[in-house]
Amino acid sequence: MSEPSSQKAFPVSWEQFHRDARALSWRLSGDRGFEAIVCITRGGLVPALIIARELGIRLIDTVCIASYHDYKEQGAAQILKGVGPEVAALTADGGTRILLIDDLVDTGKTARLVRDMLPKAHFATVYAKPMGRPLVDTFVTEVSQDTWIYFPWDLGLSFQPPIRDGHPG
């Protein structure tokens, strides 16, 4: 997906991401019987660490999907790797004891692919946009469809021109 300049920017710091992933952990806590986390790489790796730590889940696997090949073009979504044998053993009932994690749902294309693989898994994301929201069971913050979320692992420190010099923000 492109990141047009007309989109609103929602930059997220490491501290804020940690706080939001913890808030998601709170929403997922309680006696829910999750035995494994499956995170959708790569963005799901970071919240999966935080959620696994908070919920005490040690069996963690990945579904590797490549759908946005760079910041300009959205390529066809491709599953590069499915779950391994330990998690596959939990899929006979559709995956009710599996917690699926991603950083965000946008159009829902990625979520739909994974839902097809694990239809009864609980799907949780930190952020959600309206188009993808119906595919997510639990999330923390919704942003508008025309908002681009900037994750801390994609950002760096840079000079900010003073607002009076025409800073776009």
Ligand X SMILES: O=c1[nH]c(=O)c2nc[nH]c2[nH]1
Binding annotation: 42-43, 102-110, 148-149
Please confirm, yes or no, whether 102 is among the known catalytic residues.
Answer: yes
Exactly one of 106, 137, 146, 154 is catalytic; name it. Answer: 106
Name residues contacting ligand PRP, limited to 47-66 (CB under 6 A). none
Tell me which of Mg ion, ligand PRP, ligand X, none is bound by residue 67, counting a contact when its beta carbon lies within the kind-specific cut-off of 5 to 8 angstroms: ligand PRP
Beta carbon of residue 125, minimum distance to ligand PRP (angstroms, whole number) = 8
Q: Pick the catalytic residue: 31, 61, 103, 154?
A: 103
Q: Which does 105 bind (CB under 5 to 8 A by kind): ligand PRP, ligand X, Mg ion, none?
A: ligand PRP
Among the listed residues 75, 21, 85, 30, the one whose alpha carbon sits nearest the alpha carbon of residue 52: 21
Q: How many whole angstroms separate alpha carbon 119 and alpha carbon 136?
A: 12
Closest distance to ligand X from the beta carbon of 97 (Å): 28
Regarding 1 and contact with ligand X (CB under 6 A), the answer is: yes
Among 90, 99, 100, 109, binds ligand PRP (CB under 6 A): 109
Q: What separation in angstroms does the CA of 156 have from each of 11, 78, 97, 153?
A: 11, 29, 37, 8
CA 151 from chain centre, in angstroms, equals 11
**Is position 43 an interface residue for ligand PRP (rule: CB under 6 A)?**
yes
What is the DSSP code string of 18-67? Answer: HHHHHHHHHHH-SS----EEEEEETTTHHHHHHHHHHHT---EEEEEEEE
- For helices 45-55 and 14-28, the axis angle rounded to 10 degrees is 50
| Residue 151 interaction partner, one of Mg ion, ligand X, ligand PRP, none, beta carbon < 5-8 Å per kind | ligand X
Q: How far apart are CA 48 and CA 147, in angstroms?
A: 23
Interface positions with Mg ion (CB under 5 A):
43
The catalytic site residues sit at 102-103, 106
User: Which residues lie near ligand PRP (CB under 6 A)?
Assistant: 40-43, 67-68, 102-111, 132
